[in-house]
Amino acid sequence: MQIYIDTEGCTGCGLCVDVCPCDVFRLSESSRAEARYEGDCWFCGACERDCPVQAIRVDLPYLLT
* Pair 5, 42: CB distance under 8 Å: no
pLDDT per residue as tens digits for the range 5-44: 999 999 999 999 999 999 999 999 999 999 999 999 998 9
Q: What is the pLDDT of residue 17?
A: 97
* Pair 43, 56: CB distance under 8 Å: no
Please count the other Cβ atoms lying within 10 Å of the Cβ belonging to residue 13: 16
Domains contained in the chain, number: 1
Residue 63 belongs to some domain of the structure? no
Q: What is the pLDDT of residue 65?
A: 58
Is residue 60 scored above 90 in pLDDT? no
Q: What is the pLDDT of residue 61?
A: 73
CATH of the domain at 42: 3.30.70.20
Cα 1-48-36 angle, rounded to 5 deg: 45
